């Protein structure tokens, strides 16, 4: 189906105003210094918060 009328430049740009990509935010792990996502476990050492560390052993028996 084809639109009845052409959309104006302003309307098209207003529609695309929310399509911009946001940059990926990362923070430094306080334990090892590697880059990690905020509020997520570190992939290098497993640090989550003080007193909690995940076991990242790759052994699956």
Q: For the whole prediction, is pTM greater than 0.85?
A: no
Residue 27 has pLDDT above 70, yes or no: yes
What pLDDT does 58 receive?
A: 72
Close Cβ partners of 56 (under 8 Å, ≥ 6 residues apart): 43, 45, 46
What are 36-57's pLDDT values in tens digits? 999 999 998 989 988 888 888 7
What pLDDT does 53 receive?
A: 84
What pLDDT does 33 receive?
A: 93
Close Cβ partners of 20 (under 8 Å, ≥ 6 residues apart): none
In the chain, domain spans: 24-54
Q: Is 36 exposed, middle or buried (0-12, 13-18, 19+ CB in 10 A)?
A: buried
Round to the nearest angstrom and report the end-to-end CA distance of the chain: 56
């Amino acid at each position: 189906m084809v639109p009845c009328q052409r959309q104006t430049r302003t309307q098209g740009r207003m529609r695309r105003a929310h399509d911009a990509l946001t940059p990926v935010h990362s923070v430094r792990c306080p334990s090892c210094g590697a880059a990690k996502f905020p509020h997520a476990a570190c992939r290098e050492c497993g640090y989550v918060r003080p007193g909690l560390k995940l076991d990242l052993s790759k052994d699956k028996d």
